[in-house]
Amino acid sequence: MKPTQLKFILIIASVRSGRIGPTVAQWFVDQVAPYGIDVEIIDLAEPTSPLTTELLEKADGFIVVTPEYNHSYPGDLKILIDAHGTQWKHKPVTIVSYGGMSGGLRAAEHLRAVFAEVYSVGTRNGVVIHAPWDHITDGRLVLDEDAIASTRGAMDELIWWAELLKPERGARDEGAA
Ligand SMILES: Cc1cc2nc3c(=O)[nH]c(=O)nc-3n(C[C@H](O)[C@H](O)[C@H](O)COP(=O)(O)O)c2cc1C
């Protein structure tokens, strides 16, 4: 299966006014553009609808762009995860986290445990961004080569899992609870 036949959803988890989340998400999308993959965005600042569930259902994998709030991830993201079930099942998730000194790592670690409970596979490789607000030029995030390399590590692994799981999901999960 070619990566271009796979469908990924990128979830923007921050919703507050003045948020940096969409800027971080745009940076990630720009970095992975050479893969030529289909990435659709669910922005949790927009109201969710039956279409949200449909998008999650069709996805072969997820990229979650999350800030750290009080040592964890935003409540709106938990609401989205809890409102769905099979839509996450046997699909890979990679986490792009950001925050202060921690780069959102505590949020990312909490999310791993939650996604494991809904049978998602968390990639070992993710992207950790320290203080993105210090790296904005003309409204865009500009990060060093290490950060860019981490997007490739995360995406390579996400695609590897997505290719592996898609046919198995179709064959084994059909009719299963
Ligand atoms: C309520 C709140 C709690 C925060 N708690 C943390 C924290 O525990 N650790 C951290 O590194 N940054 C923390 N921050 C900083 C955020 O990660 C930072 O403001 C980031 O830009 C938030 O993402 P957003 O702009 O997309 O909303 C907090 C910010 C807010 C608003």
Q: How many Å lie between the centroid of ligand 1 and the Cα of residue 45?
A: 16
Domains along the chain with CATH numbers: 7-176 (3.40.50.360)
Residues in Cβ contact with 103 at an 8 Å cutoff, skipping those fewer than 6 apart = 68, 97, 128, 129, 130
Q: Measured between alpha carbons, how far is residue 36 from residues 33, 39, 107, 125 in Å?
A: 6, 9, 29, 20
Atom 1 (ligand 1) nearest CA: 69
Q: What is the mean pLDDT of residues 36-55?
A: 96
CB atoms within 10 A of CB 95: 26
Q: How many Å lie between the centroid of ligand 1 and the Cα of residue 166?
A: 35
| Mutational test site, ligand 1, from 65, 69, 76, max ligand atoms within 8 Å of CB | 69
pLDDT, tens digit, for every residue of 147-165? 999 999 999 999 999 999 9
From the alpha carbon of 18, which atom of ligand 1 is closest? 25
Atom 19 (ligand 1) nearest CA: 99
Q: What are phi and psi of 56, to 5 degrees?
A: -65, -40
pLDDT, tens digit, for every residue of 95-136? 999 999 999 999 999 999 999 999 999 999 999 999 999 999
Rounded-to-integer distance, Cα 128 and Cα 114, Å:
18
